[in-house]
Structure 1
Amino acid sequence: MKLAFLADPLSGFKIYKDSTFAMMREAARRGHAIYAFEQSDMALEGGIVSAQISEITLTGDGDDWFRATPKANARLSEFDAVILRKDPPFDMEYVYCTYLLDLAEKQGACVVNKAQAVRDHNEKLSITQFSEYTSPTLVTSDSTRLRDFHAEHGDVIFKPLDGMGGAGIFRIRSDGMNLGSVIESLTDLGRVTIMAQRYIPEIVKGDKRILVIGGKPVPFSLARIPQAGEVRGNLAAGGIGVAQPLTRRDREIAEALGPTLAARGLLLVGLDVIGDFLTEVNVTSPTCFQEITEQAGFDVAAMFIDAVEQVAGK
């Protein structure tokens, strides 16, 4: 197969933990041809969606891990699968990218995850479609509503709707210290919509990343455990990742959501679960492949490439 990865610059990859690299490595091991391009390489010309794309060869060298051919223009429909791995922020440039990928799909490209599905599933807001699995949640830009929610629940997490890696997340306890400042800052004085959720004490045991591939859960999660008084377990915020078998509740959530999300074109999803509650549905570039594989011995990348081969018909 010819697999084209739409990703951030390869030069910035930390290959010891990067999930996109793990996908590439497994695909190359199977003899598939690997290509890469960036969002800015895409174009629509003459009604055709194409990109300036390089073929990638993995060297096996940790410091100098790939070789790339000079970029050449190619239709996205020429590839067996286009794997969308662009990190947030999900800004308007990202939205435009999904529109181009929509057109590419109509021209015969197989895009994973499906562009419209990525666009339709804000990683914070998507949990509201599955409210039976979430803690009390409020989405608004109105300071009065946000203050009332805090007064009702006492211990609340406030976060932006477009962040990643734990950026912009605040915990306000029952004393309300800095409540006004946090609301004003996150909402830009009422101009930006944010999310508030009742604090889940089980965060001290980890923010669990549950990967769902082709509608089926990976049997191990990665519990990202906050360190040094942090409320955020995200690895990017200093959390420590510990692989562990799915709990009964983890599996219940994953098996309930998995088939629905897969049917919408989301081949790979990262569900975030704290305690017994779903907190995010990650669809842009879910991570934790390598940590789970190294600690639990389950080959996540192999499961993913199996699923890509199936949807690509190979």
Structure 2
Amino acid sequence: MRLLILTNTLDCLGENDAVISNAFRRSGCEVVLGEVNSIAADDYRYFTRGVLLRAKGLPYDVGSSALGDRGPYFLDECHLVWVMSRPQDRVARDVWQMLWLASQHAAFVNSIEGMMFLNTKHALGHLVPKENRAFSYTSNDFSLLWERYRQEEDQCWVAKPPNGFCGENVFLLPPKGPNVRAILQCLTGTIFERYAITPGSALRGFRADYAILQRFIPEVAQGEKRVLVACGKALAWYGRQRHPDDHRSNILQGAKPIPVDLHSGEIELVELIGQRLMKHGINFVGVDMAYPYILELNMDDPGGLYDAGLVSGVDRSDKVAELMINRFESAVLRKRCHPPG
């Protein structure tokens, strides 16, 4: 099997780039690392700049550079494609379009449709049972969110962008908080202020950002857990201990990974979500939870395997490779019987 991992850079491998490529190489697979932002077409056959990793030798470390001759690799000549990183905003539309077209002729670990439409907080309502998700409002109208908050201003709320990640612009809104109005205005684009300061600014372009107003979940104070689910199976997990000066549990925001256990209810819940995602072509996901609530689903480059291995001493990447190879081996056989061209 030849696996193509599409990532942002070949000069500084991320956690999943290194850990997963090492696991597939140990399984006897060829691994190509390619640049997701360099997708191109040769007479409508899609390729990327990449490196075929050495079949043998030392494993790659996080932060290392992909060694080898760099050249073009066609997606339809790979048995399996794993989009590990989302493309940069400037080229995202073109890249997603070309990747979707390429996916008609190559197997993808996570479907382009799934990554485009389910890799967002909007999707929790579709994938997570009602009793396992926090009550929330979504709008790009500041006045609507502000009115909702005022109707229950004795509650503690969280406000955040639906497509943010790594804890970016996630705000804790206390009961009757003095800055809540300003925060909601900021998250939705401060459009009224812009129009007042610069009359006619509406003609310069639409500006009304979406935000989610979500009831605060007390269970979060006890700590969040990140669970990696591969082919519907919970494989690795760890807890996230918040920085004492921050309400967010993101590692990038100062939280620390800690060893934790999962009880049967937690495993059952994340595997239910994993099975639902597989129906949409999503076979690898990071699930953030504070049981009984699901907080977020992460489908592009979800951290977890590396940190879970550090805190538990158990590397589960070989099991990920085994599950993926078994799931997609029929696609490999079809490819061998019907090579591209």
For the pair 1:19 / 2:20, whether they are aligned, the reply is: no
Of 178, 199, 209, the match for 2:216:
199
Partner of 1:85: 84
C-alpha separation in 1, matches of 2:180 and 2:62: 45
What SS does the corresponding residue of 2:94 show, helix, strand or coil?
helix
Deviations 1:67-113 (A, max 9, x none): 53332223201112111101477x46334322212111212x11111
Cα distance, 1:84–1:61 mapped onto 2, change above 3 Å: closer
Unaligned stretches of 5+ residues in structure 2: 192-207, 333-341
TM-score by length of structure 1 reads 0.90
What SS does the corresponding residue of 2:72 show, helix, strand or coil?
strand
Partner of 1:74: 73
Alignment check: 8 A CA contact 1:200 1:275 kept: no
What SS does the corresponding residue of 1:9 show, helix, strand or coil?
coil
Displacement of 1:62 after TM fit?
A: 5.0
Identical columns (%):
21
For the pair 1:213 / 2:233, whether they are aligned, the reply is: no
Alignment check: 8 A CA contact 1:205 1:223 kept: no
Name the aligned partner's letter for residue 157 of structure 1.
V
For the pair 1:94 / 2:92, whether they are aligned, the reply is: yes
Partner of 1:285: 301
C-alpha separation in 2, matches of 1:70 and 1:243: 40
Cα distance, 1:64–1:216 mapped onto 2, change above 3 Å: closer
Partner of 1:142: 141
C-alpha separation in 1, matches of 2:168 and 2:87: 11
Partner of 1:10: 10
Q: Give the total of aligned pairs.
A: 308
Displacement of 1:280 after TM fit?
A: 0.9
Displacement of 1:30 after TM fit?
A: 2.1
Displacement of 1:163 after TM fit?
A: 1.5
Displacement of 1:308 after TM fit?
A: 1.9
Alignment check: 8 A CA contact 1:113 1:265 kept: yes
Alignment of 1:1-314 (within 5 A): 1-13=1-13, 18-57=15-54, 59-60=58-59, 65-87=64-86, 91=89, 93-107=91-105, 109-129=106-126, 130=128, 131-151=130-150, 152=152, 154-189=155-190, 191-218=208-235, 220-313=236-329
Partner of 2:203: none
Alignment check: 8 A CA contact 1:88 1:284 kept: no
C-alpha separation in 2, matches of 1:248 and 1:64: 36
The structure whose residues are more often strand, as a share, is: 1
Alignment check: 8 A CA contact 1:95 1:119 kept: no
Which structure: larger Rg? 2
TM-score by length of structure 2 reads 0.83
Alignment check: 8 A CA contact 2:23 2:318 kept: yes
Cα distance, 1:77–1:34 mapped onto 2, change above 3 Å: same
Deviations 1:153-198 (A, max 9, x none): 6211111122211111111100322112111111102501111111
